[in-house]
Structure formats: structure tokens, C-alpha cells
Amino acid sequence: MELMPPDVAEGNFTPYGAQATGPGSAGQEASNGNVAASVGPFVRVDDTPKFELDSYIANYSGRTKFNRLFLIGTCSTHLSVEALKAAIAEAKSGKDVSRYERAVQALAENAPNEIEAVLDREWVERLQRVVRAETDRLEHELRGYKNNLIKESIRMGNEDLGQHYHRTGDLTAASKAYSRMRDFCTTPSHVASMLFKIISVAIERGEWLSVQSNVQRLRSLQTKQEEQSKNQPKISAALGLSQLHSGSYLDAANSFLATEPSLGDSYNDILSSNDVAVYGGLCALASMDRNELQRRVLDNNSFRNFLELEPHIRRAISFFCNSKFRPCLEILDAYRADYLLDIHLQRHVETLYTRIRTKSIQQYLVPFNRVSLESMSKIFVLGNRTDQPSPDSNSAFVQELIELIQNGTLDSRIDLEKHVIVSSQGDKRIEVQEAALESLENYIEEAHIRLLRTNIVRAGLEVRPLGDERRPRPEERVGGKRSTIGNIFSRATGTKH
Amino acid sequence: MDAPPLSQDRLSAVLAAAPSPADLYTSLSDYEEQACLIPTTHSKEVELLSAFYTAFFFSHLLTDQIEEARALTKRIPQTILQTDSIQNCLVLLRAVWQRKYTEIYKILRELPWPERSRSVVQSYESYFQQKTLKEVSNSYEAIRPAAAATYLGLDPTLAEQGDQGTIQKFVACGWKWDEKTRLLHPKPLITAPPKDESLQNEFGRIMALISHQGS
Amino acid sequence: MSDFLAQLSAVPSRQYTLGTVSDEIYDRQLRDLKACFGQPAFVPGSVNLTECLEAISPSIHSLSFLCLLRLEIQQTQKRTQCDIPEGLEPGGNLWKHAIRFLRSFDPIQIRYAGYEWRELVELVASAAQATSKPILAVKAIRDALDRLDTSGIFTSTHLILVKLTLHSASYTSALPILDRFLSHFPPDTHHTHHEFPLCSECTPATAFITDVPGISSKLTYRDHLRFFLYSAMIYMALKRWDQASHCLSIVVASPTANSVSKIMVDAYKKWILANLLGHGKVPAASKMIGPHVIRVLHSLARPYISLAEAFGKGDLRRMGAEIEIGQSVWKADKNTGLVSQLFDAHDKFAIIKLGKTFSALTVVDVLQRAPSCSRDHFVIEEFVASMVMSNALRASLSHSPGGQSVTMLRLSPTAQCHAFREEYIRTKLIKGRIALNTIAKHIAQTDEALELSPENLHFIAKSQKWSGNSEKNGTAGAAEIDEDLMGDGQ
């Protein structure tokens, strides 16, 4: 039986502070007494997303359902009312009072005239009573089991309590209760189930370090073959999720690519297979080159199953691989609203999209010596294709290129006379000569200074503190100590004896 | 070792004898100590010193030592500094420092320079013109005639009107005149730096070996 | 009188004689002659010193001339009760003799009268200073140093020279001396082992400056720090930023024993400015500077550091504000002139930087892309043109046809531009090679003086454990001449 050290990520430790206070992890704050309610939405999405809210949300189960609905409700202008109503319904079917209150408040702000926008006080009070009674009961039971010292009962008691806390939205308490199970697990599958529960709470709390460390524990667990193959997809997906959130997009892509298609809908309380396709596809697009994308994504038989669920991601990737950057970027742009309304992608959409775009521009320029800004903007300036005047030096696209050049991403220069971008083929010959000259000059300077230093010390002419009879003027110095003069002096003249 | 005492005639002789601006600078700077010892109480001496410092000042400009020329103006005794000739030098220094071409030519041509200084002023004017011509030739691929005329101290209005005389002067330097665009296309003037030492060859070989594909 | 003159002329400079006097004999002759002047009865009372000075040549009988001149000066000083008697003032008789001597003496003979030589130099310097005409002494002392050829040894005369140069604002006059590498110092103690007589051509300068006491006055650490600081100021007046920065680095990286000199702080401040003006950025401080020194420098040069930050970020407003706030600081440090050049330098480097992003743009674009401190549309064109024409910016300009005045700035280097560049690099490489040879020679001399052999170095490198040192061992190739090793080498 594995002995588990206390989890570093438990308690109040939130490694991704910025992410933890946004709606991406909205579930936690109310229960932790945080300021979630006062934090406005991370983005406002005015475009209509492509998905149908009903069928989208039907993919999920458990607490993520409410969290996703609430996020859509607070961020999207079009789906706001619909999503918040669904969120309220979802909350009312559960036992978490605080999320019901938050959903009602959000709806009241957006559509105060809706019937649901009025708080159902009676329900709230009744539920609070029920929850309190249930908490008391479970705690009492657990105390009983503890007195009897039956491991299995204590484990189950803690599990029940954890589940109860989780359902009622007290994530801190839930996490603690689940963690207390560890000493009473007797089989590897118990440990695995406990770890999954901890991971689930950690994901909701946005504690990605905790997710990662628990995933590692799950991986090193010796379980039966069939159980392992059942757990693998969930482990990979959870790991990928945590890597996505910590910004390691290549790692995240690798994790999602390694997720077995047997995941199916087994992890619906966290993410769906569609999500794996989208997250994995975008992370791969943002972090891999064309060869890798072809080999590891498009030609990947197991990941193909996921991609079939989201065919546009597959299309975007194959467009990219075939250097058809405009259709690729257009697809991504079309789905921008969808991804901005995704609980996990929201904060990463901009970064991922920028990286993909930058990579496209880089790839596009590879074969050319010079490209006209006009033909480039035909590809990279999305939007209305017809009324595009030839880009002037102040257009956003040219500005974007300038920034890419200045931060070293593009090794090119812009010619504002002929309106072309020229790949800078620095004259290697001159460069070598300049480098030689520079190192020669540096060498001479440094050698000279070192030589002087040696000879200064030899002649006993170092800068000295006060008190030396040879350099008596006090105003010439700034803070000196007397203590080591003798030592230094003997050192300086020492070689001549 | 001891140079003959400084006098107006001696100064004229030095000015006339110096084969190159660098030589002129050297021989005049040898006289600076002497100049320093000449009292500035009599008008005759003031006149001599004024002429000396004017010539010395121009020898700096002729050897492109503008920073040192500025330092020189700080060394000139106060009474001498007040003379017209030196005041002109100060105005010229400022204009050269700021590269005000129109002003430079105007100062050189129109300010009242003493008779004895005329030759050195004129030689600087032609030196400056040549120097600017080289710089313009190497810097501009196409230039409007008015701008070129300003740089070289010709009449910009005439040049703008396409005055044949002015244009011909440029064409004589190897520039091309494009009647259609009304632009001059200067011809780069590359002066080969002195190549004499054996070291040059040695490095030349190494540098030639660093080929374009070399790295 | 004629006997006396004959005595004085007994040992002529070997440059002017065809005789093959051996080194030993010549050495003895010179020593004897020098000793004669020590005897009070040597100069007959009847002799007119002034006439004698006229009669003998300072270049052939340098030793005699110098001693006679000294005698004459001493007598005049005694008679007039004045340190700088009238005759010694610029233009006076003694002055003329002194200058004539300093410009033509025989450097070999002077080795036997180092003290007297220096005394004369100092007298000339103070006489020139006293009459507020320092310029008069600058060239004479420069030529004297040149004749003496200290081959890389710093002496007190060097310091006198740079001081006079700064006072007289005749910056270029000192360059022939400044442009040489100084690497050695007259050692603390004298060790007298003579391989060759003093007069031998083979005697290295390191030996005679060591063996001839008095050719340099007793030095303190302030002397060499000041020398390099003043040298840097001369270079800065001539806008030769690279050399200035190097001299200042020497001061800042000077070895210290738990103390930081105010001169170092001044040098550090100027070093920041010189680098901003010369390179548009401040490089990392040398690894040779001890951390405690860096701390002191940083805390005392704070206004300069934040000014450099503003400059580096291209934050014009902040830079203006920093300059405004620091007015009294710049003034107190006498750096107002340098600081006022920063605006131009900023514009210059901002435009040069454009070459990394653009291969061609209009001058109007230049103003937009590289916001300028104080220039508008018309002035910027002049400024850009002057940069191109003075080769500060490798680019070409082109006026567009038609009425509207569009000037295109093409930053892509042309073939012709490359030819220029290559020639320039080649010249600099050749200069570097010569400098490298000089340095290598100096290093070899130092090794010899320290009696270091490769085995020594190897042993010392291994056993180098002395920890109180301010210096981290550098990574450069010159690390083996690190001063550290001397502490352990004894």
C-alpha cells in the first residue's frame, strides 16, 4: 500500500492565481469565501456561437454542467438568458445553494424580468436545512465508524462525506474529506477511485499542480490490466487539461493525442471526447510543425476517432499542413466564439490563436525571398475579402508584422517603398568579419585591463581604504574598512621576496 | 628645429608652401606656442594673431577635425576672439557642426574675410564642395536638382527650373539627368583607401576566404 | 672656460658619433660625468652658465646640458627667491633652453639623470600653468615623453600631460601618447640586477625606469585612476567613445582593497554616458569588478542608471523627465555637456534600429516609427540625410519623382556599401592585430618580471583558493594572468 505524503496543492495553495479567480473555476470561490461574485466575466462574447446550447450541455454530467452553463451565461450576449435559466434549473436539481444564488443574481443582472430571476427563498432555506442535517448525519456516522476502527467503513464514511461536500459546493471540505480516505484504502482500485475524486475537485478548483501530482500517483499505481486500460484515457485527459492550463501547449497536445478513444463519455463530469479533439487539435496546431502535425495528428489512428467528432478541427489541421493558411485561419476564426465560451479554453484561445497565426506567417514566408504585402494580407487579413485596399504602412496587419520582426520571430524586413516583405539574408561574409572584429576588440580590451590589474597590484597601487600611509586623503574615498590592510599589502608586494 | 618667427609674411609663406591640408595643419600647429607668447596689446599683433588663428582654424576644417576646431576656439585669447575674422570662424563652425549647407556657402562666400585669409577660405570652400559631392553621390540614388544644388552651394531655384547650366555641372560629375522624372541620379564615387602594407594582403587573403556560403 | 666646455662635451650622444665605445666604458663615462656635477667645485666660478648653455648642444650632450640647465635654474631661483623666476616663464631664456632640451634630448643619456629630467618637466609644466598658458607645455612634454619612450610604463609625467591637455583644451595633442597602451607601473621596490649597463640599447624600459629612481615621482593609486579618467575625458571631447569607454572601464575595474575611490564612481557615471552616446546602450559591467564595488557604484550612480534605463526603453518622456530632475546632479558631476548630447544619440540609435525592421521606408515613416526627441518633419529629413552622408547609417536616400516631396530611405545594404564596410573592417582588423601584438609583448614582459613560467601558472591555477578576492575568475583567454595568482605564488 502506498504511503502518500500530504498534497502540496491542498489547502489554500492556488498555483495559477489568475486562473483560479475567474469563471473558469467559478465553482470554488463562493464556498471558499472568495470574491467570485464581484469578478466580472473574463471576456464578453458578442458573436453567436455555432453550437446548440441544449445538445452541447447534454454532453456533460455532474458539476461541470452548471459551471459551463454559468460561464456561457455570464460571457455570451446571445445565450445569456437561455444558459442562465438552464443553469438555475441545473442548480435547483442539485444541492449547492451558493451556485443557485449566483446564477439567480447573474440572471437578475441580465434579465430582471424573467420569473427565474427571483430567488426562491423557500427552496433555499429548505435546502440549507436539508444540507445541514445531512452533514451532521454523515459526520456522526463517520465518528461511529472511527470508533469501531473498521477501515473500509471509515473509507466509505469519508467518501460519502466528501461526495456530500462536493455536491453542496464546499470544495475545500470535500478535498479534505477525500484526502482523509487515503489511510483507509485497502486495494489499488480504492486508491484510484480516491485519486480521481481528488483530481475532480482539484480541476474544479483550478489547482493544476495538484491535478498533475495526483495524475502521477495514478500512473504509478499498480492496478489490474483492465482497470488500467479503463483509467488511462481519463488520466491522459486530466493531465492534458492541467498542461493546457499551465501553458505547456506541446505537452498538452501530447497528452491529448495519447488519450485512448475508449474515453467515450466516461469522463463527462470533466470533459467530453469532443473537447479532447478540440483541445488536442488546437494545442497541436499551436505547437507542432507541419511534419509533426501530419505524422502525429492526422495520421494518428486513435486520435482520428476524436477528430471525427470535430471535423472542422481536422480540416483546419490539414489545411495548415497543405500550406493553405487562409482557410485554416478562417475555420479557427469561425469557431472563436465557441471556444471563448469553453470553460477550459477561454483563457487560452487568444494565445493559441496568436501562435497558430504567427506560425502560419512564418511558414508562409519560408519559400519566398520577397512577398508583396498585398498578397500576404489577402491570406492573413481575415474578414471581408473584397473591399481590401492594398495595405498601407499603418494597417494592423503591417503593424503585426513589424512586431513579429521586432521580437525576433520573423527574420525579414519590410520594404514600405515597394510594399514587400523581404527575407533578410544578412551578408554572411560581412557578419563573419564583424564577429571576428568584435571578438578581437573585446579580447584586446579585456586582456589590457587584466594586465593592468596585475601590474597595479604588483606595484602596490590598488585602491586602498583609509589609514594607509601612502594614501592619506580622507575625502577621496567612499566607505572603507581598515581591517585587512596589512594582509593586502603583504600580498601585493609578496612576489618579490 | 626652431621655426622662423611668426609674422604676416611668414604666415603667407606657410599657407602658400603647404602641399597638403595635413601639412598645413602640422606647420601651423608648430606656431601655436609662438602665437601664445605674442602679447595682444597692439593692433598690429592682434591683426597677425587673428590671421594666424583664422588660418589655423581652417586647417582644422580642411583635415576634418571639427571637434578639435571647436577646442581651438576655446583656446583663442579673448581679444583675438573678438576680431571679425574669428567671429566669422565661429559662425562657420556652428553651421558646419549643424550641417547647414546653405549657410556654410553663404558664410564662406559673403562674409567679409580679410584679404590674407581669402585663399584658405576659398580652398576650404572647394574642399567642402568636393567632400559634399562625394557624400551626396554615395548617399543618394536619386535627388531633386534643388536639393543637390543646395548641398553643393549652387542656386536651388535655377536648378529647380531645370537650368541647363546647373544641370550640366552635375552631368559633368557623371550624374544622370532624367528629363522625365526631373531627378538626378548621382554616380557613386568610391575612393580606394590606401593599400600599401603587406598586412593588407595577408588579411585580404583571409577575408577573401570567408566566402558568402562560408558559414 | 674652454677646459670646462671640453669636459662637458667629453661624452657625446652615441647617435652622433661613429665611435665604437663599448657599453661598459660608455656607462662609466656617463656615470663619471654625472658624478662630477655632484661636486661643488666642478663648475668653475668664472664660468658663465648661460654662455655654456648656448655653447653645447642639448641633443648631443644631453646629460651635461640638463645638469647645467638645472644648475642655472637653481641659481636663479636662489637669487630671485622665486620658484619660477622670470627667465623660466614662457618666452624667457631658461624656458627656451628647457623647451629646446625637451624636444631634442638623447634618451640614452637621460637615463643617468632621471630625477633631473623629471624636475625639469615639472618645472616647465608649472611655469606654463602659472602663466595660464598650459598649452605651451603640452607639446613639449608630449615630445619629451615620446623621446623617452617608456614603452608602456605609466609615469607621473603621463598624468601631468593629460592634466595640461585638459586645461589647455588641446585634445588632439595628447593623442600620440594616449593611443599607446600603458600596461606597466614603476614597481614598488627596487631590485637591482643589471643584465646590461643602463646605456645599452638592449636595456628594456622596464629596467631603466625601475633602476633610475625619480624618472617618475612616487605614485599613488589616485595617479593612475586619474590618468585614465582624464584620458577618457580627452577622448570624449573628441567623441571617440570606444576609447573613452575603454579607459573608463580600466578605472572602474581597477583592483581594490576593500575600498572604492570617488574617482571610480565618477568614471562609472561617465562610463554609462559614454556607452549610451557611443553604442546606444550600456553593456553589462565587467566581470572583473568585485560585487562590493558594483554595489557601491550602483548606489552612488542611481540617477545615471535610471537615465540609462529610460534611454534604453526609448521612453522619451521619461528620459526628458530624468534629465530634468537630474540637472543638479549632472552639473555637480560636470556631465551636463554629455547628458545634453543624449537626445541626439537617442534619435540616432532609434533610426539605426529601424534598419532591423525595415528595408525601405519614407522619411515621414521614420519620424513615426522612431519618435524623435525634438525633431519635426523637415528637420528629421536633414538629420537622416546627415546620418547617411556621414556613414553613421548604412543606407541610401532617394527622392521620388513628381511634385510631392517624398524621400525614400533604403536601408538594404547595397554591394557598394559592402565594399565600404569590408574595407573599414579590414583596416580595423589590422589595427587590432597591432594592438594585440603590443599587448602580447606586454604580457610577456609581465610574465618575465613576475618570473612566471607555465608550470607556475599551472600549479597556481590548481591551488588557487584565496577567497577574499573581489574577483570572480573570468572566462576569457586572459584569465591566466589573473592577479590572484600572485597572492599564492610566493
Predicted confidence at residue A330, as pLDDT, reads 92
Q: Which residue has the higher pLDDT, C278 or A477?
A: C278
What is the average pLDDT across B23-34?
88
Q: Kindly determine whether residue C365 and residue A416, on different chains, have CB atoms separated by under 8 Å.
A: yes
Shared domain check, C250 and C215: no
The B residues from 156 to 215 touching C (CB cutoff 8 Å) are 178, 180-183, 188, 190, 193, 197, 199-200, 203-204, 207
User: How far is C319 from C304, CA to CA, in rounded Å?
Assistant: 11
Q: A79 lies in a domain? A: no
Q: What is the mean pLDDT of residues A5-27?
A: 34
pLDDT > 70: what percent of chain C?
85
Check whether residue C265 and residue C202 sit in a common domain.
Answer: no
Is B135 an 8 Å CB contact of chain C?
A: yes
Chain segment A209-239, per-residue pLDDT in tens: 999 999 999 888 887 888 888 889 999 999 9
Span B56-76, pLDDT tens digits? 999 999 999 999 999 999 889
Cell reading at A182: 487515503
pLDDT at C210 over 70: no
What are the backbone angles phi and psi of residue B177, rounded to the nearest 5°?
Answer: -105, 120
Which percentage of chain B shows pLDDT scores above 90? Answer: 32
Q: Pick the more confident residue, C377 or A245.
A: A245
Does the structure show a pLDDT above 60 at C481?
A: no
Give the per-residue pLDDT at A199. Answer: 94
Tell me if A453 and C255 make a contact (CB, 8 A cut-off).
yes
Sequence-distant (6+) residues with CB within 8 A of A9 are A15, A202, A207, A209, A210, A211, A213
- In terms of DSSP bridges, do strands C358-362 and A477-478 run parallel, antiparallel, or are they unpaired? unpaired
CA distance B181 to chain A (A): 17
Note whether residue A123 is domain-resident. Answer: no
Which residues 442-461 in chain A show a CB within 8 A of chain C? 442-461
Residue A381, in any domain of the structure: no
End-of-domain residue from the set C412, C439, C467:
C412
Residue C368 confidence class, pLDDT cut points 50, 70, 90: confident
Q: pLDDT, tens digit, for every residue of A182-208? A: 888 888 888 999 999 999 999 999 899
| Chains interfacing with A (3 or more CB pairs < 8 Å) | B, C
Which chain B residues contact residue C168 at CB under 8 A? 75
What is the CATH number for C382? Answer: 1.10.10.10
pLDDT score at B95: 94
Mean pLDDT of B45-54: 91
**pLDDT tens for residues C97-147?**
899 899 888 888 888 888 888 989 999 999 998 888 888 899 999 999 888
Q: Would you say the C-alpha torsion B141, B142, B148, B151 has a positive or negative sign?
A: negative
- Measured CA to CA, the distance from residue C182 to residue C162 in angstroms comes to 14
Q: In this structure, are A239 and A363 located in the same domain?
A: yes
Asked if the structure places residue A26 within a domain, the reply is no
Question: What ipTM is given for this predicted complex?
Answer: 0.85
Q: Any idea what DSSP says for residue A270?
A: T
Is residue B213 pLDDT above 50, yes or no?
no
Q: How confident is the model at residue C426 (pLDDT cuts 50, 70, 90)?
A: confident
| Residue C426 domain flag | no
The pLDDT value recorded for residue A477 is 36
Same domain, C180 and C130: yes
Mean pLDDT of C214-230: 88
Mean confidence (pLDDT) of chain B: 84
Q: For residue A293, what is the DSSP state?
A: I
Beta carbons of A432 and B212 less than 8 Å apart: no
Confidence class of residue B2 from pLDDT cuts 50, 70 and 90? low
* CB atoms B215 and A433 under 8 Å: no
Structural domain ending residue among the three candidates A339, A367, A395: A367
Of A314, A345, A367, the last residue of a domain is: A367
C260-261 and A477-478 beta bridge pairing: antiparallel
The answer to whether residue A281 sits within a structural domain is yes
Is C204 in the same domain as C234?
Answer: no
CA distance A474 to chain C (A): 10
Is A181 a residue whose pLDDT tops 80? yes
Comparing CA positions, the residue from C218, C322, C222 lying closest to residue C266 is C222
- Chain segment C294-304, per-residue pLDDT in tens: 999 999 999 99
Could you tell me the residue range of the domain that residue C442 belongs to?
Answer: 431-489
Q: Does B65 touch chain C (CB under 8 A)?
A: yes
Least confident window among A140-154, B1-15, B90-104:
B1-15
Choose the final residue of a domain: A320, A348, A367: A367
Same domain (yes/no): C310, C441: no
**pLDDT category, A327, cuts 50, 70, 90?**
very high
Whether residue C63 is found in the same domain as residue C142: yes
- Predicted confidence (pLDDT) at residue A16 exceeds the cutoff of 50: no
Q: How far is C189 from chain A (nearest CA, A)?
A: 8
Does the structure show a pLDDT above 50 at A166? yes
Interface touch C439/A422, C-beta < 8 Å? no
Tally of domains within chain A: 2
| C466 pLDDT above the threshold of 90 | no
Same domain, C65 and C115: yes
Whether residue C66 is found in the same domain as residue C152: yes
Phi, then psi, of C362 in degrees rounded to 5: -80, 160
- Whether A132 maps to a domain, the answer reads no
| Set of cell numbers at residue C73 | 635654474
Which band of pLDDT confidence, cut at 50, 70 and 90, is reported for residue C470?
Answer: very low
Whether A369 contacts chain C with CB within 8 A: no
Residues on A contacting B at a C-beta cutoff of 8 Å: 427-429, 431-433
Q: Residue A482 is part of which domain span? A: 460-497
Domain contains A166: no
Contact at CB, C426 and B139, closer than 8 angstroms: no
Please say if the pLDDT value at position C458 is more than 80.
Answer: no
Structural domain contains residue C417 = no
For residue C397, which residues of chain B lie inside 8 Å, CB to CB? 139-141, 143
The whole-number pLDDT of residue A137 equals: 93
For residue A245, being part of any structural domain is answered with: yes
Last residue of a domain, one of C340, C358, C386: C340
Q: Within a domain: residue C422?
A: no
Question: CA–CA separation, C406 vs C400, rounded Å?
Answer: 6
Amino acid at A206: G
> From the CB of residue A420, how many other CB atoms can be counted at a distance below 10 Å?
21
Q: C50 and C22: one domain?
A: yes
Same domain, A228 and A362: yes
Give CA–CA dist A487/A467, Å, rounded. 14
Q: How confident is the model over C449-476, as a mean pLDDT?
A: 60
pLDDT at C359: 86
Which residue in chain B has the smallest CA separation from C402?
A: B181
Higher pLDDT, A278 or C454: A278
pLDDT at B131: 92
Residue in chain B lying closest to C132 (CA)? B36
Query: What CATH number does the domain containing A323 carry?
Result: 1.25.40.570
| Same domain for C354 and C302 | no
Q: What percent of chain C has pLDDT over 90?
A: 25
Question: C54 with C150, same domain?
Answer: yes
Q: Which long-range contacts (CB under 8 A, 24 or more apart) does A373-379 make?
A: A373/A397, A373/A398, A373/A401, A373/A414, A373/A419, A373/A420, A373/A421, A374/A419, A376/A401, A376/A421, A378/A326, A379/A325, A379/A326
What is the least distance, in Å, from the CA of C53 to any CA of chain B?
16
Residues C88 and C170 in one domain: yes
Same domain, yes or no, for A249 and A360?
yes
Chains that touch B (3 or more CB pairs under 8 A): A, C
Q: Which residues of A touch B210 (CB under 8 A)?
A: 429, 432-433
